[in-house]
Amino acid sequence: MTLLVATLAGAAGAVLRYVVSGVVQRRTRSGFPLGTLTVNLSGAFLLGLVAGVDNLESSTTLATAAFLAGFTTFSTWMIETLRLGPSPFRLRPIANLLITLVPGVILCAAGYSLTN
């Protein structure tokens, strides 16, 4: 039952990611992958908020966490980072790594401490 709910929630999160990152990417018209950045940062903050409530022990917070896990993505972040330069050891790929990683972890911790 939990598996089924988590699966459905994750797929719904994927659809919202597709919509949000598409809209952001079109609006900003940036060569930088700002759509993926937006979903990953907001998703990390929201998961921190949800996890702070009860450490994902109730079925409601667990389903929300599954939704947010599907909403954010790691693989697209990696691929888009690679495509920013001829090698990962250039300014733009490294900037894309740091601009997601550092604020993402900080926002997640901030969300967690807000509700915990």
Partner 1 sequence: MGLAANRPPGRADGSFKRRAMSPPTPPPAVRSHRIALTLGNRLGPAAAVFAGGLFGSAARTGIGYWSPTSPGGFPFAILATNLVGSLLLGFYLARREQGVSARWSLQFWGIGMLGSFTTFSAFSLDVVHLVQDQRTLTAVLYVFASLVGGLGLALVGERTGMVLR
Give me the residues that bind partner 1 (CB under 8 A), please.
3, 6-15, 17-19, 40, 43-44, 46-48, 51, 65-66, 68-79, 81-82, 88, 97, 100-101, 104-105, 107-109, 112
Shortest Å distance, C-beta 24 to partner 1: 14
- Judged by beta carbon, residue 28 or residue 102, the one nearer partner 1 is 102
> Which two three-digit tokens encode residue 5?
């709910």
> Least distance (Å) from partner 1 to the CB of residue 91?
15
CA 14 to chain centroid, in Å, comes to 10
Tokens of residue 82, six digits:
């690679």
What burial class does residue 106 get, using C-beta atoms within 10 Å of its C-beta: 0-12 exposed, 13-18 middle, 19+ buried? middle
- Nearest distance from C-beta of residue 29 to partner 1, angstroms: 20
CB of 60 to partner 1, least distance (A): 16
As a whole number of angstroms, the distance between CA 26 and CA 77 comes to 17
- Measured from the CB atom, the residue of 30 and 73 that comes closer to partner 1 is 73
- Pick between residue 4 and residue 31 the one whose CB is nearest to partner 1: 4
Kindly give the interhelix angle for 59-71 and 34-54, rounded to the nearest 10 degrees: 170
- Tell me the torsion sign for CA atoms 55, 58, 61, 67: positive
